[in-house]
Chains A and B, each alone.
Chain A
Amino acid sequence: MAPGLLWLTALMIVPCLLIFVLAFYERGIYGGIDWNAPTLGNFRRAADYLYVSIFLDSARIAAITTAIALLIGYPAAFAISRAPARWQTSLLFLAILPFWTNYLIRTYAWIVLLNPVGLINSALIGIGATIAPLPLLYNEFAVILGLVYSYTPFVVLAIYSSLQRLDPSYAEASRDLGASALTTFLRITLPLTAAGVAAGAVFVFVLSIGNFVTPDLLGGGKLQMIGNLIYDQFLTARDWPFGATLSGLLIALMMLALAFQAMAARHAGGGHA
């Protein structure tokens, strides 16, 4: 057990702590880090309207992504849980499988589909729905679509596991007592699977808000999210301390999301999905 815990401590905990320390220093005049004067300057700078608006934009995009992924993922997970028992494992596996393929390639597939001479625009022009190709790529729409595409499998998995743990006799009792299917779903099934919904939502939100590849490739460089901002500080502007500050704030946001999930799980009375 010791080598594993040691590895994770040395190469995850220590580097992350280093990021927190770096956040309190500034870039030296000749690059590198000026270790002489600890400062809160980076945090003051991060509070600038420019950066706050990027954080808010990222949070908004992540929230929209999460909502859409839940709207697609919940009914899909529900359908799988209602399928004949012997098919369920295969159906769930089919929903998760794309997650295990290369992320860059899955994102690239949407460049192929959405570009002005791509399949979707060609089809739309072909059936006469539009004369000129629609601007589907390199904007917020494409970024959200790409994120939803990448992370919906997580939602299906998280919600399916909580649906599977649900005792079906609750819903049956509700129907026997005269409640409609919709009422039963809204009053019984949905609240009892809140832990799974929260787990799926937190996963999608956290992975979306810190994403760098999708906004970079599908946003066409016009769209800045926190991940791109951190990337720029490290590889373009070479201001590592400020990049560290932004990462620290991202970790703080992530902790907040996890705390919310833990609360939702306790509230629902279920375990983690």
Chain B
Amino acid sequence: MPKVLSAHLAATYAFLYLPIAVLIALSFNKAGLPTVWTGFSLEWYGKLAANPKILASGWNSLVVAVVSTVIATTIGTLLAVGVERSRHSAARDALLFAPMIIPDIVLAIALLSFFTLLKFSLGLSSIILAHVVFNIAFVCAVVRARLKSFDWSLVEASRDLGAGAFVTFWRITLPLILPAVIAAALLAFTLSIDEFIIAYFTAGAGQSSTTLPMQIYAMIRFGVTPEINAMATIVMLLSFVLVLSAQRLNRGRIPGS
């Protein structure tokens, strides 16, 4: 590889990771100020753990992410199997691709209008309904990628031997694609726990349904504080661990591709 090309690649990684590294380093800086290093401290993490607003919003995010992940993984996996087993349909593929490309703000206001018109009360449940939309699409894409190399004759053998459709799915198909399903669930969880705009619009008024990203947004708008650095470090490390595990499970397939 030419030297220029390697240098460019190294510079690209530096561009991608330096801002993240700076945040992590500053979260351990004793002084709140970002410019001078005044010694190692866990003070900001302590402050974070004692902030009831952050803890409450963190709990809300966890509830939204867990429930939407369970629903989306179940529905999305069945969808993927159904789609791979049936004839190709361009319209259906477009429907499955749409959630990944529709600008968040458009889906956010569309759902806000829809829920309001139906007089559906806004809160954690409306956020969950909304998060399942894009998570179904992601789960479906990840599981479909795995199913491309799936040996369907195993399913036919099971059916020939007299097993019903449900038993065949439960005993044959699911165990074989399970790593991809778990990987998909981890990614869905990551997407949901980080999602801000759609939650912001479908949460309704009031602090009771504030999620962690909404809390982070409010803090950022208020100004740069060392507490945000500490929270950013925790949130980013959590994502790194989740995505890394997903990649391991999914035979090194890159999430998102």
A79 to chain B, nearest CB (A): 4
Residues of B within 8 A of A89 (CB): 252, 254
- Taking a contact as CB atoms under 8 Å apart, the answer to whether B137 and A109 are in contact is no
| B239 contact from A72, A100, A112, Cβ within 8 A | A100
The residue of chain B having its C-beta at the shortest distance from the C-beta of A216 within the complex is B221
| A96 contact from B33, B75, B256, Cβ within 8 A | B256
Q: Is A18 an interface residue (CB 8 A)?
A: yes
The residue of chain B having its C-beta at the shortest distance from the C-beta of A241 within the complex is B113
Among B12, B13, B243, the most chain A Cβ lie within 10 Å of the Cβ of B12
Complex CA–CA separation, A100 to B244 (angstroms): 10
The residue of chain B having its C-beta at the shortest distance from the C-beta of A231 within the complex is B105
- Taking a contact as CB atoms under 8 Å apart, the answer to whether B96 and A8 are in contact is yes
Complex CA–CA separation, A212 to B129 (angstroms): 22
- Taking a contact as CB atoms under 8 Å apart, the answer to whether B257 and A161 are in contact is yes
- Taking a contact as CB atoms under 8 Å apart, the answer to whether B101 and A203 are in contact is yes
Q: Is A5 an interface residue (CB 8 A)?
A: yes
- The A interface is mostly helix, strand or loop, or mixed, namely helix
Residues of B within 8 A of A1 (CB): 78-79, 81-83, 86
Query: Could you mark each residue 23-60 of chain B with 1 if its beta carbon is under 8 Å from any beta carbon of chain A, else 0?
Result: 10010000001110000000000000000000000000
Interface residues of B, CB < 8 Å — how many? 79
- Taking a contact as CB atoms under 8 Å apart, the answer to whether B75 and A102 are in contact is no
- Taking a contact as CB atoms under 8 Å apart, the answer to whether B12 and A95 are in contact is yes
Interface residues of A, CB < 8 Å — how many? 83
A237 to chain B, nearest CB (A): 13
Q: Is A171 an interface residue (CB 8 A)?
A: no
- Taking a contact as CB atoms under 8 Å apart, the answer to whether B19 and A4 are in contact is no
Q: Is A115 an interface residue (CB 8 A)?
A: yes
Complex CA–CA separation, A227 to B217 (angstroms): 16
- Taking a contact as CB atoms under 8 Å apart, the answer to whether A111 and B101 are in contact is no
Query: Could you mark each residue 214-255 of chain A with 1 if its beta carbon is under 8 Å from any beta carbon of chain B, else 0?
Result: 000100000000010011001100001001100100110010
Q: Is B181 an interface residue (CB 8 A)?
A: no
B79 to chain A, nearest CB (A): 3
Query: Could you mark each residue 78-122 of chain A with 1 if its beta carbon is under 8 Å from any beta carbon of chain B, else 0?
Result: 111011000001011111111111111111111111010111001
Residues of A within 8 A of B221 (CB): 217
- Taking a contact as CB atoms under 8 Å apart, the answer to whether B19 and A110 are in contact is yes
Q: Is B169 an interface residue (CB 8 A)?
A: no
Residues of B within 8 A of A200 (CB): none
| B109 contact from A5, A105, A111, A244, Cβ within 8 A | A244
Q: Is B123 an interface residue (CB 8 A)?
A: no
The residue of chain A having its C-beta at the shortest distance from the C-beta of B6 within the complex is A79
Q: Is A190 an interface residue (CB 8 A)?
A: no
Q: Is A7 an interface residue (CB 8 A)?
A: yes
Residues of B within 8 A of A94 (CB): 13
- Taking a contact as CB atoms under 8 Å apart, the answer to whether B20 and A5 are in contact is no
Q: Is A149 an interface residue (CB 8 A)?
A: yes
- Taking a contact as CB atoms under 8 Å apart, the answer to whether A206 and B101 are in contact is yes
- Taking a contact as CB atoms under 8 Å apart, the answer to whether B101 and A258 are in contact is yes
- Taking a contact as CB atoms under 8 Å apart, the answer to whether B107 and A12 are in contact is yes
- Taking a contact as CB atoms under 8 Å apart, the answer to whether A7 and B95 are in contact is no
Q: Is A54 an interface residue (CB 8 A)?
A: no
Complex CA–CA separation, A100 to B110 (angstroms): 25
Residues of A within 8 A of B103 (CB): 206-207, 209-211, 227, 250, 254
Task: Jot down 20 A-B pairs with beta carbons below 8 A, ordered by A.
Answer: A8-B95, A8-B96, A11-B111, A12-B98, A16-B110, A18-B114, A83-B1, A92-B257, A93-B247, A97-B240, A98-B17, A99-B256, A100-B256, A105-B235, A109-B22, A109-B23, A112-B23, A210-B105, A213-B196, A247-B106
Residues of A within 8 A of B (CB): 1-5, 7-9, 11-16, 18-19, 22, 72-73, 75-76, 78-80, 82-83, 89, 91-113, 115, 117-119, 122, 149, 152-153, 156-157, 161, 203, 206-207, 209-213, 217, 227, 230-231, 234-235, 240, 243-244, 247, 250-251, 254, 258
Given A7-B133, A79-B8, 14 new contacts (CB under 8 A):
A11-B111, A14-B114, A15-B110, A18-B113, A19-B109, A79-B1, A83-B1, A101-B20, A102-B213, A104-B213, A106-B20, A109-B19, A118-B35, A230-B109
